[in-house]
């Protein structure tokens, strides 16, 4: 429920925003891991038939799990952010993920 203390953010908005930031970074790290390790790529392919399906299941599952955990933090009140803080966190997580992939393909590949 939105309250004046959280500037209108519900506990789920804050929780899943933070989960998005974390999942974006994990997504990029999975891309790098698959590109650098044939064993990781093969293992992920063996799990579901295609590495991108496994990749998607991991990232979406992590997003949902972390969102649920973060929503229950602080005695069930969820993680707390200001609107600006949540925006910065989401943008920072997505930007970090993009920079990891960009850096990998420009410098590390």
Q: What are the pLDDT digits (tens) for 87-104?
A: 999 999 999 999 999 999
What tens digit of pLDDT does each residue of 21-36 get? 999 999 999 999 999 9
- A 10 A CB-CB count for 96 gives 14
Q: How far apart are CA 52 and CA 108, in angstroms?
A: 21
**Triad 73, 77, 79: Cα angle to 5°:** 50
Query: Average pLDDT in the 49-76 region?
Result: 96
State percent of the chain over pLDDT 70: 93
Q: Is there a contact between 94 and 23 (Cβ–Cβ < 8 Å)?
A: no
Q: At residue 108, does pLDDT exceed 80?
A: no
Burial of 59 (0-12, 13-18, 19+ CB in 10 A): middle
């Amino acid at each position: 429920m939105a309250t004046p203390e959280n500037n209108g953010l519900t506990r789920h908005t804050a929780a899943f925003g933070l989960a998005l930031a974390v999942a974006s970074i994990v997504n990029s790290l999975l891309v790098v891991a698959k590109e650098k390790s044939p064993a990781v790529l093969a293992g992920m392919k063996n799990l579901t038939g295609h590495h991108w399906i496994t990749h998607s299941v991991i990232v979406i599952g992590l997003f949902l799990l972390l969102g649920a955990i973060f929503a229950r933090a602080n005695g069930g009140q969820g993680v707390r952010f200001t609107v600006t803080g949540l925006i910065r966190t989401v943008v920072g997580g997505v930007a970090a993920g993009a920079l990891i992939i960009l850096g990998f393909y420009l410098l590390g590949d």
